A and B are shown apart, each in its own frame.
Chain A
């Protein structure tokens, strides 16, 4: 492996690689930002919805979690266009990862809500809070603290899953790297490089998660 040659190849292809990197970040951030609130709603319905609603959302969540992300991406890209919803590859990819994220966040939110003692709800009710007042002022702030570590893991899963969008032609970091490889034949070096960049992204997410965890931890 010629290190210098590898760096030269990366440098020469810096713009397409940066483009790919930007897309990876964009896909991950948008999917997480859309998928998380949607997941909170999923968790809310799983915890407090009426029977019919809960059943429907249960089905939604189980289906999404039981399906490989790969299949989900292909389904969003090909099936939606059949039923007349035209999404670009990027949009379809973000859509599929958003659904994936929402089902996972939904499960961990439901678990967290279940873990909050019943007395919290009762105390909130006793000072006259409505259901939504109780949820937003008392339950959600506690649930979010609880889910933070798991949520960070989900975020890193989304980043990793974003590489799968290459199959529907979204030029994210992995596909951008593969395109450079097809010109330079430096497959080992460049795959290693791409892997290292993904590691750095997730490492940064983990660190940021730890930082926020410390910030919001309650004094004892």
Chain B
């Protein structure tokens, strides 16, 4: 049996004295789409950021494809890996950010090519072809030479998705990818994400788009106060929530 794509065991994380993750367990197999929902401050985004070590975590294990991210055990002590090792591990996952975070001094295609050349060590022409292919897939091929400043938010986010997925990651992380977009631009981005999901990409999403989470996910995880409050198939979670907290949350998010 192959290792799960993502296996989180008893994950703990604090910011100073505030404990934001209080023992999270989550397993994802290849092709799984899992959505994290919950009110702000519940730890969704922090959980996502621990998976590629944009946040360090204090206790527990985050493993991608069977490999612990960020730390190793030596003589019973927990040691942080070297920066170079961590950089390699980060490339096992692709991340799309709320605020796109495209590199403003590079054209769309250069944005996608950077990781391919620097991390995947592709030749320039090979990286160009790969990047162009993914930009085509997200409907941005005709704007490949545009700079981020020349693109709308929705277009920038589609380029950012291409940048992440061109790296051929085992797992894609989406952090509220439509929260910074104007309402009329949300659907074009969601369509791209949906397309990738139906294509079998393993994805972990943080989202406030409840209908989208319902349509696209295999499992929905409701987080509250740094713990997993409830999890299950979308129909069960959205239509017959067990806890009062989830009922109140769904009501307030107008699902």
Q: Say how far B162's CB is from chain A's closest CB, in angstroms.
A: 11
Q: Check if B149 is an interface residue, CB within 8 A of chain A.
A: yes
Which 8 pairs across A and B sit closest by C-beta, in order of nearness? A128-B91, A127-B115, A128-B119, A119-B101, A123-B101, A220-B149, A126-B95, A130-B87
A128 CA to B97 CA in the complex, in Å? 15
Residues of B within 8 A of A127 (CB): 90-91, 94, 114-115, 118-119, 163-164, 167
User: Given B90, B104, B105, which contacts A126 in the complex, CB threshold below 8 Å?
Assistant: B90
Chain A, Cβ-Cβ closest to B92: A128
Residues of B within 8 A of A138 (CB): 103, 114
Contact size range, A = 20 to 34
Contact across chains for A128 and B101 when beta carbons are under 8 A apart: no
Known: A122-B54, A129-B118. 19 other contacts (CB 8 A): A117-B99, A120-B101, A120-B103, A125-B54, A125-B90, A126-B54, A126-B90, A126-B93, A127-B91, A127-B115, A127-B167, A128-B90, A128-B167, A129-B119, A130-B87, A133-B87, A138-B103, A219-B146, A220-B150
A92-125 interface (Cβ within 8 A of B): 117, 119-120, 122-125
Q: Say how far B99's CB is from chain A's closest CB, in angstroms.
A: 6
A176 CA to B72 CA in the complex, in Å? 67
Q: Say how far B178's CB is from chain A's closest CB, in angstroms.
A: 16
Q: Say how far A47's CB is from chain B's closest CB, in angstroms.
A: 16
Q: Say how far A66's CB is from chain B's closest CB, in angstroms.
A: 34
Contact across chains for B105 and A141 when beta carbons are under 8 A apart: yes
Total count of chain B residues near the partner, CB < 8 A: 31
B 105-129 binary contact with A (CB < 8 Å = 1; else 0) = 1000000001100111000000000
Contact across chains for A145 and B105 when beta carbons are under 8 A apart: yes
Q: Check if A4 is an interface residue, CB within 8 A of chain B.
A: no
A residues lining the B interface (CB < 8 Å): 117, 119-120, 122-131, 133, 137-138, 141-142, 145, 218-220
A120 CA to B160 CA in the complex, in Å? 12
A168 CA to B104 CA in the complex, in Å? 47
Residues of A within 8 A of B160 (CB): 123
A128 CA to B93 CA in the complex, in Å? 9
A126 CA to B119 CA in the complex, in Å? 11
Q: Check if B249 is an interface residue, CB within 8 A of chain A.
A: no
Q: Check if B142 is an interface residue, CB within 8 A of chain A.
A: no
